[in-house]
Amino acid sequence: MNIGTRSGRRGITSLLLVAWCLVLSACAPLLGYPKDPEDTDATLSALAPYFNGAKDVEYAHAPPAAKTNIRNEIIFARMRAYDITFADFEKRLYGDGNAVTLGSDLAGLILAGLTATTGNAATKSVLGAASAGVIGAKAAIDKDLYYQKTIPALLAQMEADRLQAKAPIVTGMKVPDEQYPLVQAYIDLDAYKNAGSIPSAINAVNKDAGNAKDDALDTLRTGVFVEDTSGQRLRDYLWPSGVDKPVDKAHLTNLRRWMSANLPTGVPVEALLYGPTLASKRKLAVSDLAVP
Amino acid sequence: MPPCGIWTRKAVPTAKVAEVVAAYRLDNPTRIDKIDNHNGTFDVVATFPPCTDGQASNQPND
């Protein structure tokens, strides 16, 4: 390897770093949140006594009449700290996704452009490899992280979960310490803190989706017999010679294909033919399959 | 995914029971029971393999 080539590579590396920094620094407005006038680092430092046990000791040695106020003070302080860290987490989730996406897109484009227009074969080779690396890294980051489309949904779920977890704490703060001691408050505060996590949000979203699917199937699972003209036409489509004769396999295949595209999975053919809640689906199947 | 658990068609007129049974058989139930309601109708209960997700929907909801 000659000196000229090494020098060229150092220059390219510098160029890449400068371009990268410029692109990322230009991405600040893409974070999606206004600048916070509060010095949250200072606030979190001031809240340290509520996390390092100092206030717990004060609470433990306080007379019963003072415990409620100290408890509420601790709860307020901890909720404030959790809110600050959650807001920071939220901003980073949005902001980092934008910076990675736009930054690597632009850096990739710059390098690809330089590859096409600059230098000798060795330089082109280095630039081409760098361009591919940046674009490849971005693809990996996009796949590995939860960014882009899923983040808004997860954040919305986190917000909802945090509100739900906040309710028992607010209720508890209105009653005396004997009825809502600090130990209980800590349990609820932990739930509040964890409600702002991605794993918790994913679990909640999956559970909601699973429940909706189960509800849909349960509705279909049991019902009174209904016979309408669409059901009769579908029956004759499946058994042109009568139900005591073999089913028309080609028609059955067509109907199953239609069902897989239009009904929840796991619904038997019988439910489509005679289920009371599927009249509109029967009609649609008759139309889509051109059933005589 | 094939049907799982128990599916029930209630109040099937006697003359239509064969149709309902034939329709259920298309999805290969492990058994089919016909319960006479003694009012000219039957309840037809099709039992499919147990649901693997363990959800409550394995059971009839009435």
Minimum CA–CA partner of B22 in chain A = A243
Q: Are B11 and A265 an interchain contact pair (Cβ–Cβ within 8 Å)?
A: no
Q: Which two tokens stand for residue A109?
A: 């484009």
Query: Considering only CB atoms, which chain A residues are within 8 Å of B4?
Result: 266
Q: Are B55 and A270 an interchain contact pair (Cβ–Cβ within 8 Å)?
A: no
B14 to A5, B10, B18, B39, B54: CA distances (angstroms): 90, 11, 8, 9, 34
Return d(Cα A216, Cα A223) in angstroms, integer: 13
Return d(Cα A215, Cα B56) in angstroms, integer: 10
Query: Considering only CB atoms, which chain A residues are within 8 Å of B53?
Result: 210
Q: Which two tokens stand for residue A126?
A: 């280095």
Residue whose entry in the numeric block shows the structure tokens 């000196």 = A3
Q: What is the pLDDT of residue A125?
A: 67
Name the residue facing A222 among B2, B10, B19 (closest C-beta).
B10
**Residue A16 pLDDT > 60:** no
Please report which helix (H) or strand (E) contains residue A103, including its range.
helix A64-117
- R_g of chain A, CA atoms, integer Å: 31
Q: Which two tokens stand for residue A197?
A: 């996590």
Q: Distance (Å) from the C-alpha of residue B30 to the closest C-alpha of chain A?
A: 13
Quick: pLDDT tens for A77-119: 999 999 998 888 887 776 655 555 555 555 555 556 555 555 5
**Residue A193 pLDDT > 60:** yes
Domain boundaries, chain B: 6-53
Q: How many helices (H) and strands (E) does chain A have?
A: 12, 1
Interface of A with B (CB under 8 A): 210, 214, 217-218, 221-225, 227, 235, 238-239, 243-244, 247, 252, 265-271, 273-275
Name the more confident of A100 and A42. Answer: A42
Quick: pLDDT tens for A136-169: 666 655 555 555 667 777 788 888 888 888 888 9
What ipTM score was computed for the predicted complex, to two decimals? 0.89
Residue whose entry in the numeric block shows the structure tokens 């987490």 = A89
Quick: pLDDT tens for A222-235: 889 999 999 999 99
Minimum CA–CA partner of B41 in chain A = A225
Mean pLDDT score across all residues of chain A = 79
Please choose, from the candidates B62, B57, B30, B59, the residue with its C-alpha nearest in 3D space to the C-alpha of residue B46: B30
Q: Which two tokens stand for residue A278?
A: 């599927």
Q: Distance (Å) from the C-alpha of residue B9 to the closest C-alpha of chain A?
A: 5
**Residue A66 pLDDT > 70:** yes
- How many of the other CB atoms lie within 10 Å of CB of A1? 7
**Residue B1 pLDDT > 60:** yes
Quick: pLDDT tens for A259-287: 999 998 889 999 999 999 899 999 999 99
| Concatenated DSSP letters of A21-61 | HHHHHTTGGGG-SPPPSS-HHHHHHHTGGGTSSHHHHHHHH
Q: What is the pLDDT of residue A35?
A: 77
Name the residue facing A223 among B2, B10, B55 (closest C-beta).
B10
Minimum CA–CA partner of B52 in chain A = A266
Q: Are A266 and B4 an interchain contact pair (Cβ–Cβ within 8 Å)?
A: yes
Please choose, from the candidates B58, B45, B40, the residue with its C-alpha nearest in 3D space to the C-alpha of residue A266: B58
User: pLDDT band for position A1 (50/70/90)?
Assistant: very low
Q: What is the pLDDT of residue A71?
A: 94
**Residue A192 pLDDT > 70:** yes
Q: What is the pLDDT of residue B56?
A: 38
Judged by DSSP in three states, A247 sits in coil
Return d(Cα A236, Cα A233) in angstroms, integer: 5
Q: Global pTM?
A: 0.45
Q: Which two tokens stand for residue A290?
A: 């051109």
Quick: pLDDT tens for B3-58: 998 999 999 999 999 999 999 999 999 999 999 999 999 999 999 998 876 543 43
Judged by DSSP in three states, A20 sits in helix
Among A17-21, A121-125, A245-249, which stretch is predicted with the lowest mean pLDDT?
A17-21
